[in-house]
């Protein structure tokens, strides 16, 4: 038994002893007397920790390392659009759109210009809402305002999607400003989505935004305009105005909610 505990037995003999110990109560008791008390205590402490305090998921651990409190980290990790499957799908879609634009020599920018601004929009749309949020009941009853949750998840989605999209934009053929030009519609469509969601809900708002931006890209392609027309300087001013108007609507609604005593 001492040789077994020290690991000095060969594989066959050790397996035989182990099978015997699993069936023999007297030998199991003998094993306990031969083991060091400190080793037994550390082993049981590890078992208790694993059962009572299981390791946190990777997104929660990462958020806590960034300085976020655990409650905020849990709410972020629960968002569908911040999980690995959604992020991988978004990045693959962006990669294929970038590859199509690259292989076309810049004549087929429509796939990238269509997908890049909509990726953060769809991410935000799926980051909250009663049907998508597994913690909806908890959020509704806890002292954690819905507006704060929406804005928090919106920022998290933008931080997770925009840097990779910007890097992929550097691979686009043509002038370098194309690598950042898509940011104009992207940063305009997100506040438009949030403003509309306050009236019609996130799903309907996402559908409206998706159809609206798709119609802009498709119409420019059918009209034979320059492939980069949707993100040229003249259009960027319109996107800025649209973003300012949407932010104004959000601010007005927040003020109304405060006056009504709605938790923020």
pLDDT tens-digit readout, 152-191 = 777 777 777 888 888 888 888 777 787 788 888 988 998 9
Q: Is 45 helix (H, G, I), strand (E, B) or coil?
A: helix
pLDDT value for 119:
85
How far is residue 112's CA from residue 117's CA, in Å, rounded to a whole number?
9
Closest CA relative to residue 231, chosen from 162, 178, 154 = 178
How far is residue 40's CA from residue 45's CA, in Å, rounded to a whole number?
9
Please name the residues in contact with 203: beta carbons below 8 A apart, sequence gap of 6 or more. Answer: 125, 129, 131
pLDDT value for 146:
61
pLDDT value for 82:
60
pLDDT value for 60:
65
CA distances to 68, 136, 143, 155 from 140, in Å? 21, 6, 8, 21
pLDDT value for 56:
62
Work out the number of other CB atoms within 10 angstroms of the CB of residue 196: 19
pLDDT value for 264:
44
Closest CA relative to residue 246, chosen from 169, 190, 178 = 190
Instruction: Please tell me the number of Cα atoms within 13 Å of 2 on its side-chain side.
Output: 1
Cα dihedral 47, 51, 53, 59 in deg (nearest 10): 110
pLDDT value for 263:
45
Sequential pLDDT tens for the chain (264 residues): 888 888 888 889 988 988 898 888 888 888 777 777 777 777 777 777 666 665 666 666 666 677 777 666 666 666 655 666 667 777 888 888 888 778 777 677 888 888 888 888 888 777 665 555 555 555 555 555 566 667 777 777 777 788 888 888 888 877 778 778 888 898 899 899 888 887 887 788 889 999 999 999 999 888 888 888 888 888 999 999 999 999 999 888 777 766 665 444
pTM, two decimals, is 0.63
């Amino acid at each position: 038994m001492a040789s077994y505990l020290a690991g000095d037995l060969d594989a066959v003999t050790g397996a035989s002893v182990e099978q015997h110990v699993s069936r023999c109560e007297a030998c199991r008791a003998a094993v306990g007397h031969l083991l060091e008390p400190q080793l037994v205590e550390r082993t049981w402490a590890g078992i208790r920790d694993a059962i009572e305090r299981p390791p946190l998921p990777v997104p929660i651990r990462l958020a806590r390392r960034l300085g976020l409190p655990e409650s905020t980290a849990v709410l972020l990790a629960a968002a569908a659009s911040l999980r690995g499957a959604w992020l991988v799908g978004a990045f693959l879609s962006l990669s294929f759109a970038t590859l199509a634009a690259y292989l076309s020599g810049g004549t087929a920018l429509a796939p990238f210009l269509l997908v890049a601004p909509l990726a953060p929009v769809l991410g935000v749309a799926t980051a909250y809402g009663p049907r998508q949020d597994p913690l909806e009941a908890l959020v509704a009853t806890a002292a954690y305002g819905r507006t704060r949750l929406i804005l928090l998840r919106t920022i998290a989605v933008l931080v997770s999607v925009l840097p990779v999209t910007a890097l992929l934009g550097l691979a686009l053929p043509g002038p370098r400003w194309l690598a950042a030009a898509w940011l104009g519609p992207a940063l305009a469509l997100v506040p438009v989505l949030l403003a509309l969601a306050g009236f019609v809900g996130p799903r309907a708002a996402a559908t409206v935004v998706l159809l609206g931006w798709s119609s802009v890209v498709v119409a420019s392609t059918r009209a034979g305009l320059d492939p980069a027309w949707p993100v040229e300087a003249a259009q960027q001013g319109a996107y800025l105005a649209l973003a300012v108007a949407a932010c104004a609507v959000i601010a007005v609604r927040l003020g109304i909610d405060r006056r009504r005593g709605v938790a923020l």
